[in-house]
Amino acid sequence: MAAARPILGRVLPGSSILFLCDMQEKFRHNIAYFPQIVSVAARMLKVARLLEVPVLLTEQYPQGLGPTVPELGAEGLRPLTKTCFSMVPALQQELDSRPQLRSVLLCGIEAQACILNTTLDLLDRGLQVHVVVDACSSRSQVDRLVALARMRQSGAFLSTSEGLILQLVGDAAHPQFKEIQKLIKEPAPDSGLLGLFQGQNPLLH
């Protein structure tokens, strides 16, 4: 009997979607590496627009937590408001209307709350989840680390922004590659990941 083929986690523009979760004003001074996280998420948004990958944006209780920060560059996107610690209930209709959807690229905050619960809900729907590790954070780096490990245990893929961008574009001959190359010419800013991943970290083995 042949062994089951492993799920490779390939991402293609025509079957992918970008989720941007709750990058709002009130979190600005509380989330570790917030400017760096938003910068990387903004890079993912620019690439999604160039490759015509759909994008969905949420805001958690904006009356209290404020609007999406302007540096994300999300002008033109209509944020869907929520109180649930998952994006999926608010985005249910959008997900149901996209039968071709296979992969969700997930950016935002907080890793142990809305990112984790969104991941679990999406996996439960049979979708592949790619957590953009350099575009997700928490107030606590312990919460961030354990949430990343938990999502990986549950079947999500942990990926960097550049790794996903290059998977999406696929070929240096792509007509948008030169524009995308400009976006990734400078490495993504340091968001503290080396400290989480270095050494013999049992949570990520």
On whether the CB atoms of residues 116 and 89 are closer than 8 A, the answer is no
On whether the CB atoms of residues 196 and 145 are closer than 8 A, the answer is yes
What's the CA gap between 136 and 40, in Å, rounded? Answer: 9
pLDDT band for position 197 (cuts 50, 70, 90): low
Continuous segment of H or E residues that includes residue 179: helix 177-184
- SS3 category, 57: strand
What's the CA gap between 202 and 118, in Å, rounded? Answer: 24
pLDDT band for position 194 (cuts 50, 70, 90): confident
What is the amino acid identity at position 52? E
* pLDDT higher than threshold 70 for residue 205: no
- Tell me the per-residue pLDDT of 117-147, one tens digit each, with 9 for 90 and over: 999 999 999 999 999 999 999 999 999 999 9
pLDDT band for position 195 (cuts 50, 70, 90): confident
What's the CA gap between 190 and 182, in Å, rounded? Answer: 19
- Tell me the per-residue pLDDT of 173-185, one tens digit each, with 9 for 90 and over: 999 999 999 999 9
Q: Which residues are catalytic?
A: 22, 82, 114
> Among 195, 126, 119, which Cα is nearest to 158's?
119
On whether the CB atoms of residues 71 and 50 are closer than 8 A, the answer is no
- Is the pTM above the cut of 0.85? yes
Provide CATH code, domain 16-188.
3.40.50.850
- Tell me the per-residue pLDDT of 5-62, one tens digit each, with 9 for 90 and over: 778 999 999 999 999 999 999 999 999 999 999 999 999 999 999 999 999 999 999 9
